[in-house]
Structure 1
């Protein structure tokens, strides 16, 4: 996918794991906010489990996030790419 984007004139900005990407975007804060909401305990556990599945490195969190673009200012790094792999 990265090579195809490059062939189409896109520049690779970053490649990272989905779990790291989502945590850098604030998913950890979202997890901690669950307890402060108006949710029942079963709802909290269900939502927490769903969010954990997105960041689990042996599951969905191990998927890669590829970001490509054109004319991107490299002096302004994207928040989700703090932890590049």
Structure 2
């Protein structure tokens, strides 16, 4: 095969959550941040996963010679 093949297509919000963004959100309160910093960081992360905003953007994963039997981190299902 000469070109890239599509391995997966998902929404950015789902992709980031599958990569552990939810863990990052919960870790904010465990850090040495002030309340305003926590709120600012939490809001920024929420903007990335909001399905009516940036979280609704699509993430297209393409590659060469990818083993489709091994799931890729960040994708629930491979195409």
Which TM-score band applies after superposition, normalised by the shorter structure? over 0.9
**Would you say the 8 A contact 1:16–1:84 is kept in 2?**
no
Which consecutive unaligned segments of at least 5 residues does structure 1 have?
1-6
TM-score, normalised by the number of residues in structure 1 = 0.87
| C-alpha distance in 2 between matches for 1:69 and 1:42 | 41
CA separation in 1, counterparts of 2:22 and 2:49?
A: 10
Instruction: Sort the Cα spacing of 1:11 and 1:61 in 2 relative to 1 into closer, same or farther, 3 A.
Output: same
CA 1:54/1:8 → structure 2, altered by over 3 Å: closer, same or farther?
farther
Please give the root-mean-square deviation of Cα atoms over the aligned residues, in Å. Answer: 1.9
Would the aligned equivalents of 2:4 and 2:63 in 1 still touch at CA under 8 Å? Answer: yes
Unmatched segments (≥5 aa) in structure 2: none
Q: Which has the higher helix share?
A: 1
- How many pairs align? 79
Q: Secondary structure at the match of 2:74?
A: helix
